[in-house]
Amino acid sequence: MNTALRLDQVSSGYGAAIVLRDISLEVGMDESIAIMGKNGMGKSTLLKTIMGYLPKKSGSVFLLGENISSWKPYRIARLGVGYAAQEHSIFADLSVYDNLSLGLKNLLYFKGRFDEILRLFPVFEDRLAQQAGTLSGGEQKMLLVARTLILHPKVIILDEITEGLQPSVIERLAAALVYERKRSGTSMLIIEQNIPFALKVADRYLIMKQGELIDRGNTGDPGAAASVLRHFQL
């Protein structure tokens, strides 16, 4: 299997504080991986490190065949990564339409893609003119994911997008990601605390505890849900 993303013994943190210790992992082309674990374990730090927002103390990161270890975030994104950080949100003052089309340089070229995204998230079809800040919390999260998908990234990195959402919205998001992957072969790295969502969207899971990956498995294995849940209860 070709590799979309690979980390070799990456350590990083904030100032002198080490948060991640020797993280190695691989996401194959067309593979979806979920990293799970309780709050404060270093999951978001890992994504910020991959995306170039935090300097690495050691180790290397490879993305789509390039060694991106010392690249700046904009250059990493340009290589074909869609990243929705945990604290990201939509542009509240702009319309739904403007939020979706902001990153599209050539609207004519992207017309087909625009329509496709609307089919994935039909809730926006009649609401393109609505100011995004007036959408419900769940709709705003869907818009954020739609905006990440619309650029057709080769790799999608999502940080706890189901946080605080109601089950129907979570199901919609899972269906959209599963469909997108089937259609485009997009590789995915998702951070999650919602176990059913992660098991639906990912092929494999990794458990992070105090900056280390301490367990892993296939989401299709019998007992996967119970194995993951155990780590949240410990």
Backbone angles phi and psi of 86, in degrees to 5: -60, -35
Cβ distance to Mg ion smaller for residue 86 or 130:
86
- What is the closest distance, in whole angstroms, from the C-beta atom of residue 39 to Mg ion in the complex? 7
Cβ distance to Mg ion smaller for residue 82 or 154:
82
Task: Indicate the residue whose CB is closest to Mg ion.
Answer: 44
**What does 19 bind: Mg ion, ligand ADP, none (CB cut-off 5 to 8 Å by kind)?**
ligand ADP
DSSP helix/strand/coil, 162: coil
Cβ distance to Mg ion smaller for residue 87 or 112:
87
d(C-alpha 189, C-alpha 204), whole Å: 10
- What is the closest distance, in whole angstroms, from the C-beta atom of residue 12 to Mg ion in the complex? 14
Binding stretches for ligand ADP (CB under 6 A):
14, 19, 37, 39-45
**What does 14 bind: ligand ADP, Mg ion, none (CB cut-off 5 to 8 Å by kind)?**
ligand ADP
Select from 36, 57, 84, 1 the least CA-distant residue to 233: 36
**What does 138 bind: ligand ADP, Mg ion, none (CB cut-off 5 to 8 Å by kind)?**
none
Cβ distance to Mg ion smaller for residue 3 or 44:
44
Can you read off the two tokens belonging to residue 127? 């609401």
The number of residues in the chain equals 234
**What does 59 bind: Mg ion, ligand ADP, none (CB cut-off 5 to 8 Å by kind)?**
none
Burial grade of 15 (CB within 10 A; 0-12, 13-18, 19 or more): exposed
Binding stretches for Mg ion (CB under 5 A):
43-44, 86
- What is the closest distance, in whole angstroms, from the C-beta atom of residue 45 to Mg ion in the complex? 8
- What is the closest distance, in whole angstroms, from the C-beta atom of residue 17 to ligand ADP in the complex? 6
Cβ distance to ligand ADP smaller for residue 160 or 180:
160
Number of alpha helices (DSSP H) and beta strands (DSSP E) in the chain: 8, 10
Cβ distance to ligand ADP smaller for residue 3 or 44:
44
User: Taking a C-beta distance cutoff of 8 angstroms, is the pair 22, 56 a contact?
Assistant: no
88: amino acid identity, one letter: H
R_g over Cα of the chain: 17
Q: Which residue's entry shows tokens 């690979």? A: 6
**What does 130 bind: Mg ion, ligand ADP, none (CB cut-off 5 to 8 Å by kind)?**
none
d(C-alpha 24, C-alpha 127), whole Å: 43
**What does 232 bind: Mg ion, ligand ADP, none (CB cut-off 5 to 8 Å by kind)?**
none
- What is the closest distance, in whole angstroms, from the C-beta atom of residue 35 to Mg ion in the complex? 10
- What is the closest distance, in whole angstroms, from the C-beta atom of residue 94 to ligand ADP in the complex? 28
User: Taking a C-beta distance cutoff of 8 angstroms, is the pair 81, 61 a contact?
Assistant: no
Packed helices 111-120 and 137-150: angle between N→C axes, nearest 10 degrees? 140
